[in-house]
Chains A and B, each alone.
Chain A
Amino acid sequence: MRTSFVFSEVVTGLRRNVTMTIAMILTTAISLGLLGGGLLVVRMVDKMQANYAGKLEVSVLLTNDVSANDKDCTQQPCAGLRSQLEQTSGVETVVFQNRDEGFERFKRIFEAQPELLKLARPEAIPATFRVKLEDPERTDVIKQAFEGKPGVKGVDDQGKFLERFFDGLNGLRDVALILALVQAFAALLLISNTIQVSAFTRRVEVGIMRLVGATRWYTQLPFLIEAVVAGIIGSVTAVAGLVLFKAFFLDRITRNLTESGIIPPIGYLDILIVSPWLFLVAIVISATTGYVTLRLYVRL
Chain B
Amino acid sequence: MIRLEHVSKVYKTSTRPALDDVSVEMEKGEFVFLIGPSGSGKSTFLRLLLREEVPTRGRVYVSNFDVAKMSRRRVPRLRQSIGCVFQDFRLLPTKTVAENVAFALEVIGKPRNTIVKVVPEVLQLVGLDGKEDRFPTELSGGEQQRVAIARAFVNRPLVLIADEPTGNLDPDTSQDIMLLLERINRTGTTVIMATHDHGIVDSMRRRVVELSYGKVVRDDARGVYGVGR
Chains A and B are bound partners: yes
Residue B119 CB within 8 A of the other chain: no
With a CB–CB cut-off of 8 A, which chain B residues contact A207?
A: 90
Interface of chain A, helix or strand or loop or mixed?
helix
Asked whether A213 and B77 contact (CB < 8 A) given A205-B92, A208-B90, the answer is yes
Interface positions of B from 146 to 175, Cβ below 8 Å from A: 151, 155
B58 CB, nearest partner CB in chain A, Å: 23
Q: Which of B75, B76, B104 has the most CB of A within 10 A?
A: B76
Closest to A219 in B: B107
Are the CB atoms of A213 and B108 closer together than 8 Å?
A: yes
Q: How many residues of A contact B (CB 8 A)?
A: 17
With a CB–CB cut-off of 8 A, which chain A residues contact B90?
A: 204, 207-208
CA distance A208 to B112 in the complex (A): 19
With a CB–CB cut-off of 8 A, which chain B residues contact A208?
A: 90, 92, 103-104, 107, 151
Are the CB atoms of B92 and A209 closer together than 8 Å?
A: no
CA distance A138 to B108 in the complex (A): 69
With a CB–CB cut-off of 8 A, which chain A residues contact B79?
A: 210-213
Asked whether A213 and B78 contact (CB < 8 A) given A204-B90, A205-B92, A208-B92, the answer is yes
With a CB–CB cut-off of 8 A, which chain B residues contact A213?
A: 75-82, 108, 155
With a CB–CB cut-off of 8 A, which chain B residues contact A204?
A: 90, 92
Are the CB atoms of B104 and A2 closer together than 8 Å?
A: no
CA distance A1 to B111 in the complex (A): 9
Residue A161 CB within 8 A of the other chain: no
Are the CB atoms of A2 and B109 closer together than 8 Å?
A: yes
Residue A19 CB within 8 A of the other chain: no
Residue B106 CB within 8 A of the other chain: yes
With a CB–CB cut-off of 8 A, which chain A residues contact B104?
A: 208, 212
CA distance A234 to B90 in the complex (A): 36
A49 CB, nearest partner CB in chain B, Å: 53
Asked whether A209 and B109 contact (CB < 8 A) given A204-B90, A204-B92, A214-B76, the answer is no
Residue A166 CB within 8 A of the other chain: no
Residues of A with Cβ closer than 8 Å to B?
1-2, 5, 204-205, 207-216, 218-219
| Given A209-B107, A212-B83, 12 more pairs with CB closer than 8 A | A2-B112, A204-B92, A205-B103, A208-B107, A211-B84, A212-B155, A213-B75, A213-B76, A214-B76, A215-B76, A215-B108, A218-B107
Residues of B with Cβ closer than 8 Å to A?
50, 75-84, 90, 92, 103-104, 106-109, 112, 151, 155
A-B contact pairs, 23 of them (CB 8 A): A1-B109, A2-B106, A2-B109, A2-B112, A5-B107, A204-B92, A207-B90, A208-B103, A208-B104, A210-B79, A211-B50, A211-B84, A212-B79, A212-B80, A212-B84, A212-B104, A213-B77, A213-B81, A214-B76, A215-B76, A216-B76, A218-B108, A218-B109
